[in-house]
Structure 1
Amino acid sequence: MYFKPILLAISIALTPQASLAAGGGGDTTGVPEPTETTKKCKKSKVWSEKKKRCVKPGNASLSEDTLYEAVREYAYAGQYDNAQTILRVMQDQSDDRVLTYWGFTHRKLGNADLAMTFYERAISLNPDNLLSRSYMGQAHVEAGDTYLAWVQLQEIRTRGGMGSWPEQSLAKAIQSGKTYNY
């Protein structure tokens, strides 16, 4: 079918080429800034602002949001095992953000099929999870299926993600054929 490559080329041509600069702590803002968690903590520990030291991820002083940010930080630092250790102690294993990072870490550890299962579960719970869609699309790029990646890119755009970090990173991956190791 000739229309798929043509649609892909048109889509990429219309993609804004904004920078993929590192952003703040939200899901759609880019790579998280390093904090004390990855600067000072070892063995999956998380920095506790309350205690001003590294603590085990199951420590009651840590909120789910703090744990989630630590997961993101470890994942983007390439410390996938540390990220998964924290994911294991998170209370709500059906949270679409948690599922997204289970997918991300498994994909980076070479478990592509398992990663896709997590992305699919995250998206079924929250179809507007742009980050999970972007990571799923990047998994498709890695597998050589740019059409399925393009489908996720269109979903991101349709769901209000035009210009967002998930949209930009997936568009760049489709265009270059390369995904990102942060």
Structure 2
Amino acid sequence: MRNNVREYLVTEVQNGPNEPNDTDEEILNIIREELQKSNGVEYLTTGEIADSLSIQSTQTGNRLNDLLQDNRVEKRRAGQTDMWTLSPSETRTVVEPQLTHFAKSSGQLRRLADTLRVIAKDVVVSAFILMLLAVSNPAVGLPLPGVDWDVVLAVGYLLGMAGGILFSTSAIFALVGQHMPTVAKSVLLE
């Protein structure tokens, strides 16, 4: 099975829409390699990236804009020059071209984790407000007829637990997303 997966990945890269040596991962790897150096460079120009590829600067810019749409890179303008770096959810480890699918999935999983973390925060805040209202009502005596404060407290507890589960899920997704390319490389390519 391992060989079948390896063969599929190699075939997919070679027969995909890009030339084998101009894959998205190769473009991203140029940025990754530069970021791993300790020379303080955080952004690369389109021309600097194109110099390492077999495609022209204009085509490189188009490909980088596609990667920007996929939230895999970030762009900054310096005058008339576009400067590029990896998005925060993109893996910093150099990725083998055969592992393109894993790298994309890894980034998507980390973006999902970020979204879940925001939702979890909102759920926990809502739970806290409900519990605070239910607990403080006997002292304050809010005149809300028909409100069963024990039910409000129970709903607050349930929302708090749901928020905790969402936080845990987001942490697991972030962890899996962070290490997916490395694990896939060690299992499939070594």
Q: TM-score, normalised by structure 2?
A: 0.24
Q: Which has the higher contact order (CA 8 A, sep 6+)?
A: 2
Greater gyration radius: 2
Question: Normalized per residue, which structure has more helix?
Answer: 2
Question: Normalized per residue, which structure has more strand?
Answer: 2
Q: TM-score, normalised by structure 1?
A: 0.25
